[in-house]
Chains A and B, each alone.
Chain A
């Protein structure tokens, strides 16, 4: 019998083995990313339902139950699974409520930075010339010095309020969007479909909004995910330095700072919020890396 070919060949079967393997790799979502997605979803859920989930009021002090180690039966008769802090507040409840500050400021800052940075990148790529030079020089200047110093300075001047934090953290991230989008726009604008729309009389605004933006959307999503991790860490860092959302509102960075003095006797105060922060940061930035590889392989190696 001659070599028989099955009547219905799966589309994949005729592809070269290498392509097949590449596709399979792309389709198979690594377990770390599944875990990551689940973790982020859980975090959002926890932040939203904090009042339902937290076993205690996060700012209720209890002087009798100060510095209690993680326990099922605390001095006040309550379980403190992650212990209590120097004011007798339940660490677990504070970690749960702390997720609100991290996520709300993180997402808001990414929105601010993403909108500003994308607009700047699109403008720079499209106008070239003077506008481009100005935007890119500004980007260079911002990258040229430790932004954390500027952030501390601005917040020290304006006072640590929610809007200030969002704007400062947002501003710290616009450069990534601007630089990467600019380089993509430079490629796109010379493509036939953009040139032909231009020739047909499509306005520049229309070209950017209807034809270029959809093409760079996946890039924006990738950068935004990576930026989210950075924004959450920056917020925590500022809180750690005493410049974040002010006490008694719990924030992870602030809790690490509060527990610092008790590191020797009550390690749990700093360690648990810090660990949650660290896991969040790792998981979100890993998901970003993965998204980048899937959505936009050309970005590999970009910062």
Chain B
């Protein structure tokens, strides 16, 4: 990977930016997306359960 070395020395800031900060920000973005997604599906599940419970109650089962 000699060409990477040369490129790196000539473009240190780009290397720093894309290599570390962009990756870190990417990881943060993924984490936030994961948290939001988890909230979405948890709410869906809770609603589903609640509606099932309501339906059962309306039909006189629960």
User: Is the A/B pair a real complex?
Assistant: no
